[in-house]
Amino acid sequence: MLTAVVTAAVLRGSKVAAIAGTWLGNPLTTLPLTALNFHVGQTLLGRTWTAPPSELYTVDGFLQLGGAAIGAYLAGCLTTGLVGGLASYLLGIPIAAFLQERASNPRNKKRVK
């Protein structure tokens, strides 16, 4: 996380986005998010959810499961991504408006000598 923040600072990027990216894209969260996406896809496609087969423990094994498993995973990714993106957007708009209003308020501006 420190590397991400330093890199964002050097590149004048968003430090908050860098932190969020490290929290969501690390080895500890990848497996649960993958399982969630696969489960959501299975549910949307009307398939029964069973314990993941041992083939899911490797990428090659996952690819050997074929289009059904990959289709369920991609459907889940699309759905969770759309829901998460929409929720972030709907929460972010009022927060951004509040921050812009606060920044434009003359009482919050520093005096220039």
At 46-91, the pLDDT tens digits run 987 666 666 667 777 777 777 788 889 899 999 999 999 999 999 9
What share of the chain has pLDDT > 90, as a percent? 31
pLDDT, greater one: 17 or 48: 17
Q: Report pTM.
A: 0.62
Looking at residue 55, its pLDDT comes to 63
Paired tokens of 45: 């496609």
Instruction: State the Cα–Cα distance between residues 108 and 61, nearest whole angstrom.
Output: 58
Looking at residue 1, its pLDDT comes to 77
Q: Is 40 exposed, middle or buried (0-12, 13-18, 19+ CB in 10 A)?
A: buried
Looking at residue 93, its pLDDT comes to 94
Instruction: State the Cα–Cα distance between residues 36 and 30, nearest whole angstrom.
Output: 10
Q: What's 106's DSSP letter?
A: G
Across all residues in the chain, what is the average pLDDT? 83
Paired tokens of 90: 């709907």
Instruction: State the Cα–Cα distance between residues 11 and 7, nearest whole angstrom.
Output: 6
